[in-house]
A = this chain, B = another copy of it.
Amino acid sequence: MKEKFVVTPWEVKGNIDYDKLIKEFGIQPVGDLPSIFNTNLLFRRKKIFAQRDFSRILDAIKQKKPFVMMTGLMPTGKFHIGHAILAQQFVFYQNLGAKLYIAVADIEAYHAREQSLEESREKAIDQYITNYIALGLKPKNCEIYFQSQRSKDGKKSNAYYRLQNLLARHATYNEFRAVYGEITPGKMLSGLLQASDMLHPQLQEFEGPVPVVVPVGVDQDPHIRLARDLASRIKTPKFIQISSTYHFFVPGLNGGKMSSSDPTSFIALTDDEKTVAKKVMKYAFSGGQPTIEEHRKKGGNPDIDVSYQWLTFFEEDDNKLKRIYEDYKSGKLLTGELKQILIEKLTKFLKDHQQKREKAKDQIDKFLFK
């Protein structure tokens, strides 16, 4: 029997029954995809497991028509390995020809975390944007903006905030309460600004009507539903309905949720070799048996082993991954050995990434002040 689980924008706990979620939220499984999607690990391994109106995006890709990928970042806490995995998705879309819109949710951080706009700006640049660049983000076809400062161009920023203000007429108080729980003016304004984030790429001042895909964790679906509901009610301008995809959560190192506020749950992108080895050895939740003898006899459980799970995000070679799975399951591969494979993968990735990160720092201007 499955335990009870909770998935909301503010709480994710328990063993998540994704099939049940798909049904409850009324989202669709991701069906067959064009072969180009196999080049992205998240799509190839079905880490992105559900969608709404994604066919619109597939059509745009097929017909080589413009489309937008929109995402937001909350500039609090450290950028960790979970963020890095998702960022690969953004880069994949950009390489596919998407224009990227990346919102730094500094207004939301101000309301939800009482963090000043200055602090949000610093963290967004130092943690998020620098790492995105190191992970392959290109300045072309990419608009990174702060919610508090939509652009230096008056016409554009007016359009963005005007949309926030106009959307309010199409929302009800009860709807907000249903999505956000107990409502405050701050939450309400953040919610409307977030809907404006998702919808404004389609305004005349930006791209005009265009398909927009918002890739999110399934916990974020209430935000998508609210934005879709508002979009369907507003008559002028007429919006093309938002598309979205839903990915599995990258499990926390310790087997719980990966969270910036719990260092035993993540590897930071600035962690050094020694820290990585120590964290994996000490905290990585294991599916192995208590003793070597027992492990050799009964074998380990890769399906709950976090080291193995993380390798599904880092080991590109499907055959190699399959071998690891089987060897661990048969007991041929010990937990310590599996952890060592992960440590090597992570170390190589981080070493490479940290070099790229240094170079990325010089490129910030190309993204923020073009």
Question: Which A residues fall within an 8 A CB radius of B?
Answer: 107, 110-111, 114, 116-117, 147-158, 161-162, 164-166, 168-169, 171-173, 176, 183-186, 188-190, 192-193, 236
Query: In whole angstroms, what is the CA distance A280 to B205 when docked?
Result: 50
Nearest Cβ distance between residue A309 and chain B, in whole angstroms? 39
Query: In whole angstroms, what is the CA distance A331 to B83 when docked?
Result: 87
Task: State whether B154 touches A148 (Cβ < 8 A).
Answer: no
Taking CB atoms, residues of chain B closer than 8 Å to A171 are 185-186
Query: In whole angstroms, what is the CA distance A114 to B170 when docked?
Result: 11
Taking CB atoms, residues of chain B closer than 8 Å to A185 are 168-169, 171-173, 176, 188, 192
Copies of chain A in the complex: 2
Task: State whether A165 touches B148 (Cβ < 8 A).
Answer: yes
Nearest Cβ distance between residue A165 and chain B, in whole angstroms? 5
Taking CB atoms, residues of chain B closer than 8 Å to A188 are 168, 185, 188-189
Task: State whether A173 touches B183 (Cβ < 8 A).
Answer: yes
Taking CB atoms, residues of chain B closer than 8 Å to A164 are 161, 189
Task: Return the chain B residue nearest A149 by Cβ.
Answer: B158
Taking CB atoms, residues of chain B closer than 8 Å to A189 are 164-165, 168, 188-189, 192
19 inter-chain pairs at a CB distance below 8 angstroms, sorted by A residue, are: A107-B162, A110-B166, A110-B169, A111-B168, A117-B162, A148-B158, A149-B158, A154-B157, A157-B157, A157-B158, A161-B161, A165-B193, A168-B185, A168-B190, A169-B186, A173-B183, A185-B192, A188-B189, A189-B189
Nearest Cβ distance between residue A174 and chain B, in whole angstroms? 10
Nearest Cβ distance between residue A85 and chain B, in whole angstroms? 31
Query: In whole angstroms, what is the CA distance A150 to B162 when docked?
Result: 10
Taking CB atoms, residues of chain B closer than 8 Å to A173 are 183-185
Task: State whether A161 touches B168 (Cβ < 8 A).
Answer: no
Taking CB atoms, residues of chain B closer than 8 Å to A107 are 162, 165-166
Taking CB atoms, residues of chain B closer than 8 Å to A155 are 152
Taking CB atoms, residues of chain B closer than 8 Å to A110 are 165-166, 169
Task: State whether A157 touches B161 (Cβ < 8 A).
Answer: yes
Query: In whole angstroms, what is the CA distance A147 to B107 when docked?
Result: 20
Nearest Cβ distance between residue A74 and chain B, in whole angstroms? 15
Nearest Cβ distance between residue A200 and chain B, in whole angstroms? 13
Task: Return the chain B residue nearest A160 by Cβ.
Answer: B161
Query: In whole angstroms, what is the CA distance A360 to B183 when docked?
Result: 47
Query: In whole angstroms, what is the CA distance A231 to B149 when docked?
Result: 21
Taking CB atoms, residues of chain B closer than 8 Å to A117 are 162
Task: Return the chain B residue nearest A175 by Cβ.
Answer: B185
Query: In whole angstroms, what is the CA distance A316 to B157 when docked?
Result: 47
Taking CB atoms, residues of chain B closer than 8 Å to A111 are 168-169
Task: State whether A184 touches B172 (Cβ < 8 A).
Answer: yes
Query: In whole angstroms, what is the CA distance A157 to B148 when docked?
Result: 10
Task: Return the chain B residue nearest A148 by Cβ.
Answer: B162
